Amino acid sequence: MRYRYETHMHTYPASQCAGSLPSEQVRAYRSRGYAGIIVTDHFVNGSTGCPPGLSWDEQMRFFLSGYEQAKKEGDLCGLDVFLGWEYNINGTEFLTYGLEPDFLPAHPGMDTLTAKQYSALVRKHGGYLAQAHPYRSARWIASPHPVSPRLVDGLEVYNASMPDEVNRRAREFARLHHLPMQAGSDAHHTGIPFVSGVMLAERAKSAADVIAAIKTGRAELIVPGA
């Protein structure tokens, strides 16, 4: 038996650009036969729905609400829900996994870190970083290319929202630098025509199990049409 896990998805209103509530996303993934999801809402330095003027604790409560609501719904319907987030630095984004909710309120001001500082902080506490869609180009992205391989633990080499060329270049970069590879949908609503992620041989008990499978090459990439 194989178990499907989404590694990159968003919920509204924690992610301002998303179009579906956490409970709606959970039910959609459950109906598609997924075993679990990692909720990666945009952090407060990205496309966040967080209202301005809040204290750090208030910002973190708002941000975590997407994950918490998804977890509650997942517990009811039998879908594993793990915490992650997408951290933004001038348009370059990092999928971050393996840290507990209490990490966030304990680190006020972490939304202003450089890539080097953020990488060091996350790794110091046992987290995992993968650059999302490293070759995506847009007017708000200052550097549309991968960061130094030393700053990340892996690379998103297939993003269902990206053109084939963007994904191809990401795969080549990961192979060249021997970086663990992962795939994700980057789903912002339930109506996307297909979803991606990784497939595991065993059911994950935590995000750490998904990370371990990616790092050791035991995670099969879900690439529609491949």
Instruction: Give the per-residue pLDDT at 220.
Output: 97
Residues 6+ apart with CB under 8 A from 174: 154, 155, 157, 180, 181
pLDDT in tens, the chain (226 residues): 899 999 999 999 999 999 999 999 999 999 999 999 999 999 999 999 999 999 999 999 999 999 999 999 999 999 999 999 999 999 999 999 999 999 999 999 999 999 999 999 999 999 999 999 999 988 888 888 999 999 999 999 999 999 999 999 999 999 999 999 999 999 999 998 778 999 999 999 999 999 999 999 999 999 987 6
Q: Count of alpha carbons within 13 Å of 167, Cβ hemisphere only?
A: 18
Can you give the CATH number for the domain in which 108 is found? 3.20.20.140
Residue 209 CB coordination number (10 Å):
18
Instruction: Give the per-residue pLDDT at 210.
Output: 98
User: Is the Cβ–Cβ distance between 39 and 11 less than 8 Å?
Assistant: yes
Distance between CA atoms of residues 85 and 27, nearest Å:
20
Instruction: Give the per-residue pLDDT at 143.
Output: 85
Structural domain count of the chain: 1
Instruction: Give the per-residue pLDDT at 139.
Output: 86
| Three-state DSSP string of 139-157 | CCCCCCCCCCHHHCCEEEE
- Residue 133 to residues 22, 67, 106, 124, 201, Cα–Cα distance (Å): 23, 22, 29, 24, 25
Instruction: Give the per-residue pLDDT at 192.
Output: 84
Distance between CA atoms of residues 140 and 190, nearest Å:
26
Q: Token pair for residue 185?
A: 């949908």
Q: Is the pTM of this model over 0.85?
A: yes
| pLDDT tens profile 134-168 | 999 888 888 889 999 999 999 999 999 999 999 99
Instruction: Give the per-residue pLDDT at 226.
Output: 64
Domain with 209 in it = 3-222
Q: Among 90, 66, 88, which Cα is nearest to 132's?
A: 88
